[in-house]
């Protein structure tokens, strides 16, 4: 995979452009850079969720399973970012989408059907899982915007979509394993 950074600052981006790993220079607000930034933000938020899970594992049984499923996602998001930075590079495989789907199905079987809309909250872990879910949706939207300009492999778009689904189910599973009641949405009362 491309060059390794030996120097952090280069001063080449001061005029509003940045370099892609394939050597092209693009504006910093180019859809590809926007997509890369959202994937990076998601990876950072996911790192925070994993750190919180690690800190809480001793208090709540069953959190290790969530870490085992979610930790590889950080690496796959980095692969996805690599594909965005180097359009000819392909790293993310369809089997990763299947891995997420299998986890979703397994966790959903434990949870049962959703009865109502739920709100983020209940614990820091649950709220952080929802932050990750919403960030995954942002990354997916940015990648879809890029896809209208420069075609992306379908695996990238599907992975982000499934990851957001997985994070939603993970938030619900966290509520269950932390013995927290999910916060159900209450519609506003009709005007009098």
pLDDT tens by residue, 164-189: 999 999 999 999 999 998 888 888 98
Q: What pLDDT shows up at residue 107? A: 96
Q: What pLDDT shows up at residue 139? A: 98
Indicate if the pLDDT at residue 102 is higher than 80.
Answer: yes
Q: What is the mean pLDDT of residues 43-55?
A: 97
Q: Is 184 helix (H, G, I), strand (E, B) or coil?
A: strand
**Please, what is the average pLDDT of the chain?**
90
Q: Looking at 13-17, 157-161, 183-187, 188-192, which range is the least confident one?
A: 13-17
pLDDT tens by residue, 122-146: 999 999 999 999 999 999 999 999 9
Q: What is the mean pLDDT of residues 82-105?
A: 94
d(CA 4, CA 18): 16
Do residues 12 and 19 touch, judged by C-beta distance below 8 A? yes
- Could you name the CATH architecture of 24-111+124-181? Up-down Bundle (1.20)
**pLDDT band of 1, cuts 50, 70, 90:** very low
Q: pTM of the predicted model, to two decimals?
A: 0.89
**Domain range list for the chain:** 24-111+124-181
d(CA 161, CA 33): 19
Cα 37 to Cα 17, 23, 58, 142, distances in angstroms:
14, 18, 34, 9
d(CA 101, CA 8): 38
Q: Where is pLDDT greater, at 111 or 6?
A: 111
């Amino acid at each position: 995979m491309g060059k390794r950074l030996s120097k952090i600052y280069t001063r080449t981006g001061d005029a509003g452009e940045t370099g892609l790993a394939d050597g092209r220079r693009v504006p910093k607000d180019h859809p590809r850079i926007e997509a890369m930034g959202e994937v990076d933000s998601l990876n950072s938020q996911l790192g925070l969720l994993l750190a919180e899970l690690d800190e809480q594992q001793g208090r709540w049984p069953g959190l290790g399973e969530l870490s085992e499923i979610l930790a590889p996602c950080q690496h796959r998001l980095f692969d996805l970012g690599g594909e965005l930075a180097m359009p000819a590079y392909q790293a993310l495989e369809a089997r990763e989408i299947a891995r997420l789907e299998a986890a979703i199905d397994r966790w959903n079987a434990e949870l049962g059907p959703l009865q109502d809309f739920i709100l983020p909250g209940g614990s820091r872990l649950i709220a952080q899982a929802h932050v990750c879910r919403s960030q995954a949706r942002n990354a997916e939207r940015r990648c879809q915007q890029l896809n209208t300009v420069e075609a992306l492999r379908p695996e990238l778009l599907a992975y982000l979509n499934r990851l957001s689904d997985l994070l939603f189910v993970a938030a619900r599973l966290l509520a269950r394993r932390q013995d927290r009641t999910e916060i159900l949405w209450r519609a506003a009362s009709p005007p009098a």
